[in-house]
């Protein structure tokens, strides 16, 4: 029997709201398919222009409930200077071993925000080291099947696109849980790119673009260093026709 903390999918973000923006629909879709999903935020968001770490924590917990994730953990690796040393690596090694995910989603290791890139590289390396039995921790060695990367600011050619059409409205509700971060005409805080009125329109436009590539309304793109195994070639291309 699986332990109560085991998950099928473990999703990492450098900051609270990263996973909602990039992978929220995929999380919801996986849960609807009967999979167990966990979320890990690597920082407290203390360098954010708007809100406070305490508020971001409350918002992230509200978003977790909307997504339906089994748990959400928060590390303290330093917002605006995300640390990637051996101490942080060991924290993630133990965390990965404790939850034993089949698959990990992490930030793309080369993004405009340095914290995203650092997070992607740190999670990738920790996922490998978690499988080395001679690295001692309180948990048995475990190595996930793969680490795949969510896209944030920069766009790369995706290896796969997940159809999140049925999950889209809930994804947007989860994003809306971060009231301090996104468009709010009553807010007196300093404006940011995220708080601009058209920011969420851009998120939707991107999802519509990638959805159109797979014959869906909305899609979330991911990059993998190894191609996924396709068991049903016909279904993989359903909903499309030759141009």
pLDDT of 4 above 70 = no
Which pLDDT score, from 0 to 100, does residue 243 have? 60
Radius of gyration of the chain (CA): 18
Span 69-88, average pLDDT:
96
Residue 1 has pLDDT above 50, yes or no: no
> Domain residues of the chain, as ranges?
9-225
Of 40-49, 168-177, 232-241, the one with minimum mean pLDDT is 232-241
Q: Distance between CA atoms of 150 and 152, rounded to whole angstroms? A: 7
Mean pLDDT of 71-84: 95
User: Is 241 a residue whose pLDDT tops 80?
Assistant: no
What is the DSSP annotation of 171-185?
HHHHHHT-TTTS--T
Residue 72 to residue 40: CA distance in whole angstroms: 6
How do the residues of the chain divide into helix, strand and coil, expressed in percent and rounded to 5?
A: 35, 15, 50
195: confidence class by pLDDT, cuts 50, 70, 90: confident
On the question of pLDDT at 2 being above 70, the answer is no
CB atoms closer than 10 angstroms to residue 160: 16
- The predicted model gives 201-223 an average pLDDT of 96
222 pLDDT above the threshold of 50: yes
Give how far Cα 237 sits from Cα of 167, 204, 209, 216, 221, Å: 20, 23, 17, 11, 16
The angle that helices 53-67 and 168-176 make with each other, rounded to 10 degrees, is 160
* Whole-number pLDDT of residue 174: 97
Beta pairing partners, 87: none
CATH fold for domain 9-225 = Rossmann fold (3.40.50)
Task: Say if CB 28 and CB 67 are below 8 A apart.
Answer: yes
Q: Which helix (H) or strand (E) holds 72?
A: strand 71-74
Angle 123-126-131 (CA atoms, 0-180°, nearest 5)? 135
Give the whole-angstrom CA distance, residue 43 versus residue 82.
8
- Averaged pLDDT, 228-234: 92
Average pLDDT, stretch 63-87? 96
Q: Which residue has 């673009």 as its token pair?
A: 209
**What is the dihedral sign for C-alpha 120, 192, 24, 77?**
positive
Closest CA to 17 of 146, 113, 156, 161: 113
Output the pTM of the full model: 0.93
Q: pLDDT > 90: what percent of the chain? A: 78
- Say if CB 33 and CB 9 are below 8 A apart: no
């Amino acid at each position: 029997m699986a332990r109560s903390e085991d998950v099928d999918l473990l999703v990492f973000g450098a900051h609270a709201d990263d996973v909602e923006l990039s992978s929220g629909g995929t999380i919801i879709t996986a849960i609807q398919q009967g999979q167990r999903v966990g979320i890990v935020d690597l920082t407290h968001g203390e360098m954010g222009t708007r809100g406070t770490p305490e508020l971001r924590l409350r918002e992230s917990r509200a978003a977790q409930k909307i997504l339906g994730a089994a748990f959400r953990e928060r590390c303290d690796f330093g917002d605006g200077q995300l640390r990637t040393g051996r101490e942080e690596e060991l924290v993630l090694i133990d965390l990965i071993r404790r939850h034993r995910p089949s698959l990990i989603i992490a930030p793309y290791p080369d993004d405009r925000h340095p914290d995203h890139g650092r997070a992607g590289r740190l999670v990738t390396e920790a996922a490998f080291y978690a499988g080395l039995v001679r690295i001692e921790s309180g948990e048995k060695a475990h190595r996930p099947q793969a680490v795949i990367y969510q896209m944030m600011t920069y766009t790369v050619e995706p290896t796969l696109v997940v159809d999140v059409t049925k999950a889209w409205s809930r994804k947007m509700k989860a994003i809306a849980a971060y009231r301090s971060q996104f468009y709010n005409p009553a807010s007196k805080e300093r404006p940011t790119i995220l708080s601009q009125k058209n920011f969420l329109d851009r998120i939707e436009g991107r999802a519509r673009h990638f959805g159109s590539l797979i014959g869906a309304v909305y899609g979330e793109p991911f990059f993998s260093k190894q191609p996924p195994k396709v068991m049903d070639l016909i279904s993989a291309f359903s909903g499309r026709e030759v141009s």
